[in-house]
Amino acid sequence: MLGFLSKADELDWRIDPDYVAAVAVATTAKAEADRTEAERVAAWREDNIQGVNPPPDSRFWLVKGAANEAAQALADAIVVRDRAEATAKAAARQGWIDRYRGQWESVEHATDALLIQLTELDDARERAAAIGITLPWIAAGGMSVAALQHWKDGNRKLIEQLS
């Protein structure tokens, strides 16, 4: 596992204070909407005698208004939560890209060092072959210097495209 991808990382968008607050508000709004809807259904059952709509002064109409307000508050809270989530993700995104680029630079430097060593190893093998000594071909998992350079260059282009 890569150490720079810690789960408790400061770049975790889920711990953004605005997002955390918006989730709490949406959760509370959901509980209130559920509670008022259950109360509305109960009032309907109580006031709807013999299949006739409840009278205008019944408890049902009061509860229905509260249930509608709670449902609207929930809808508004969800919009705010979704915006906070998008904002938090956008803020964390650049941090992750910067961190990933930094990690790539470490890999790139190590790859450059490996390329130098592999080139020297190939040169030594060729010099030995010139005097009749056969040495086994050794490279990174059978990867040639050219293939490793191609891999590094291709990944460099991908890293540069991140934005």
pLDDT along the chain (163 residues), means of 10: 50 89 97 95 81 80 93 97 94 86 92 88 82 67 74 85 76
CA nearest neighbour of 13 among 86, 81, 68 = 86
pTM above 0.75, yes or no: no
What's residue 83's pLDDT? 97
The b-or-e profile of 66-92 (16+ CB within 10 A means b, else e) is bbeebbebbeebeebbeebbeebeeeb
Other Cβ atoms closer than 10 A to 103? 15
pLDDT at 1: 37
pLDDT of residue 3: 47
Provide the terminal-to-terminal Cα distance of the chain, rounded to the nearest Å: 24
Which residue reads 């650049």 in tokens?
94
Which three-class secondary structure state does DSSP give residue 143?
strand
Tokens, residue 125? 């093998």
Q: Tell me the HSE value of 119 on the side-chain side, using a 13 A CA sphere.
A: 9
What is the distance between the alpha carbons of residues 30 and 71, in angstroms, rounded to a whole number? Answer: 8
Tell me what pLDDT residue 141 has: 53
Question: What's the Rg (C-alpha) of the chain?
Answer: 32
Q: Where are the alpha helices (DSSP H) in the chain?
A: 17-47, 59-130, 145-161
Q: What is the pLDDT of residue 44?
A: 86
Contact 98, 162 (CB under 8 A): no
Give the per-residue pLDDT at 91.
86
pLDDT of residue 140: 45
Domain spans, the chain: 13-161
Q: What is the pLDDT of residue 4?
A: 46
